[in-house]
Chain A
């Protein structure tokens, strides 16, 4: 009985991973879209974190060092998301279009947070304020892109 249960567990997990694997490597267009959407959602996280840290700095709620660390961490994370996505190879025309769309949005977000990091480091609070407002739009755009696929 116990052995049968264990065997069931193993089979079930194998089947599950197979299904998930297949879902991932099916239609190249769909695959590009779902990877792009996932990257966009990860990017939202980075942008919103940087924004929150910068807002706290503006509001005098944290001192400069932790703000810098948090924005830098967010910048690193965004850079990684963008590079990982850019390394994908589009195989059809449609996936090429999806690729360009998401790649540009991710690069855009990464650049925005890099600008924010530079402003935070140099203590230029006026620029920080402007960039925080700008990043709102970036995040909203990424949120929409993130909802286009599971």
Chain B
């Protein structure tokens, strides 16, 4: 019974934890511009994050070593440092976007400018990290994030022509004034939003925080294989709402307000309240995950003591890294840069940085020295290698497409 509860809780947490500011913004934006014509990318991305997270979760459960510890070990000091810098910068950029997202949600609810909310949001993130137990923060914000299911219900309430949505989903390609270049660019953005690297750093380090061993493989797998795909369905619902409400009238999504409006149109003030609470939980939860991931990656690369399973003073450098990252986020947001724009760039850079951390995990998941019986099977390796190809392709194409499309204009 207790075990079943743990599994259910893990799955629910994974669903709520999957969606962050990147998924919210990118899915709504793409839904408004292309309808469901890029829905297949969400499916491809979800399968990818399942493969990637399952491998790193399994490696943690068997070897007890989290992702960045192993990345340095396999890539060596120099290449490892390159992977660290790239992954860290992307994670920091995501953290900035998430804190901006929390502040924007408060701005929408209160009408008070987000720049005033932002230092408060960053401070609250730090306080929770400093004081709250790991399992609590993961569960509370994961469960609250489930409120975003309101998007799925809103889509149904908006009463779309389902046949039309299916038709869009099955006929990929640009429409109207869009070009193949913008279509591909947003494809990469969606892919990066679904497969953001920090999700895996957090997931694998969380495995150590919660002291996983071989017996936890069932929990780990059910979280990944049920939780993430259901989270992916939430993403599709967000895109669907935008496709129904915005595509026909030529609205392009550029603000968080536009992302939340469909719930209000469908359910009125209650819908808006639920969606704002859901957005707050999803972005605040992701802000916790990304700041922890900033600390995890650096501390694990250098072999420092890290983690919330020890008291803060025992992992002092780890905590200092997170404090510095939060201060940096405040400083960047103070320049009044648009957090939604930051989000749009962060998902593309996420797609670019992915192969650097994916490859070492694939290598280690195949190493009998570590994994023994639990190493990758043939079928899994086939898909893992296909995804390695896809990741490389997206990574190489990202910059040229960004230049050609002037970042998707």
Give the B-binding residues of A (Cβ under 8 A): 6, 9-10, 13, 16-17, 20, 38, 41-42, 44-45, 48-49, 52-53, 56, 59-66, 68-70, 73, 77, 139, 143, 146, 150
Nearest Cβ on chain A to B258's Cβ, whole angstroms? 6
Q: Known contacts A20-B404, A62-B269, A65-B110: does B257 contact A42 (CB below 8 Å)? A: no
Q: Is the CB of A70 within 8 A of B110?
A: no
B9 within 8 A of A: no
Nearest Cβ on chain A to B359's Cβ, whole angstroms? 15
* B contact residues around A13 at 8 Å (CB): 400-401, 403-404
* B contact residues around A56 at 8 Å (CB): 261, 264-265
Q: Which residue of A lies closest to B401 (CB)?
A: A13
Encoded as 1 (CB less than 8 Å from any A CB) or 0, chain B from 253 to 294 comes to: 011011011001101110110001000000000000000000
Q: Is the CB of B250 within 8 A of A48?
A: yes
- Distance A50 CA – B401 CA, assembled complex (angstroms): 31
- Distance A146 CA – B260 CA, assembled complex (angstroms): 27
B252 within 8 A of A: yes
Q: Known contacts A13-B400, A65-B110: does B268 contact A49 (CB below 8 Å)? A: no
B177 within 8 A of A: yes
- Distance A46 CA – B172 CA, assembled complex (angstroms): 27
- Distance A67 CA – B386 CA, assembled complex (angstroms): 46
* A contact residues around B267 at 8 Å (CB): 61
Closest 9 A/B residue pairs (Cβ): A65-B111, A13-B400, A70-B257, A61-B268, A45-B252, A44-B250, A73-B255, A62-B264, A66-B108
Nearest Cβ on chain A to B71's Cβ, whole angstroms? 23
Q: Is the CB of B261 within 8 A of A48?
A: no
B107 within 8 A of A: yes
Q: Is the CB of A150 within 8 A of B177?
A: yes
CB contacts under 8 Å to A, within B197-250, are 245-246, 249-250
Q: Known contacts A60-B268, A62-B272: does B251 contact A45 (CB below 8 Å)? A: yes
* A contact residues around B401 at 8 Å (CB): 13
- Distance A23 CA – B56 CA, assembled complex (angstroms): 47
Picked from B108, B181, B251, B400, the residue with its CB within 8 Å of the CB of A52 is B251
B109 within 8 A of A: yes
Q: Known contacts A9-B396, A41-B250, A48-B250: does B257 contact A66 (CB below 8 Å)? A: yes
